[in-house]
Structure 1
Amino acid sequence: MTTESERELRNFCQLLSQAARLVQRRQDDVLGPLGLTRAAVIALEGLAPGALNQEQLASSVHAKSQTMGKILARLQLAGLVSRSRHPQDRRQLIIGLTGAGREALAAAQEAEAHALPEFDVRGWQTLREELATFVTSIQNQGPNRGPEGMSA
């Protein structure tokens, strides 16, 4: 039997999924004309503080290294990132933003900022804080468990 709190949680999760899809569609709509994808912007944002190797970047944005490699290849072809050999470890490539990459990132962030509806600043802050708490809770929960402790 489903309790009221379980129904509420399920309804919340459905609403959260719907909100995520709508935000992603809006982002796709504004990033497309810039020749960027959301994944590309995430990679550019990960490199904004400074150059990293592919594994470090993938880890920092919670992506798989192989997936990041494909994204970085496209960004390099577009002239938005550069790859150079690490000075101390020639086996490693260091990836950094180019000037064009910084400009593309700024344009993407500006476009994304205007893609969402107006919402008072306190509303965004509250929503961000609550979602951050929720995400942390899920990350700390461990493996997904079904009824009676069985893996789902």
Structure 2
Amino acid sequence: MESVNVKKLLDAYFEGNTSLEEEKALQNYFNSETVADELLEYQQIFLGLKAAKEERSSRAFNLPESKPKTIKTWWYSAAAMLLVAFGLGSFYFSQPHFSQEEKEALAAFEKSKNAMMLLSENLNKGAEQIVFIDQFTITKDRIFE
């Protein structure tokens, strides 16, 4: 392999733009005995990668057993169903349920409330007219004095 091509591949390798075949060609080149003198500094990188690839651990690892997650899913769905049922039940029972007598009493109350509001409006209109009568009385007393 020419050193110019190897330098281009090295630049692409360090930028992360090489394919697996190009990386394999670089590893083969630097792991061989015929490396150009100006590229000897990069040979250590590829020798280190080769050594790291061949490392094996003799230590045994014990991984904890994982519990199946289906129980959690079942528990969450049951809790969600209970929550929805509780919400619907509380909404249903919070609505007033009146007997026929109570409905008639409420209707009579609304009618009397409307009648009182009409009476109040008319009394307020009359009270506005009293202001004019008071003004008329004051003016009359000034004139006849």
TM-score category of the 2 structures, normalised to the smaller one: under 0.3
Q: Radius of gyration: which is bigger?
A: 2
By relative contact order (CA 8 Å, sep 6+), the higher-ranking structure is 1
TM-score normalized by the length of structure 1: 0.19
TM-score using structure 2 length: 0.20
Q: Please identify which structure carries the higher strand content.
A: 1
- Structure number with higher helix proportion: 2
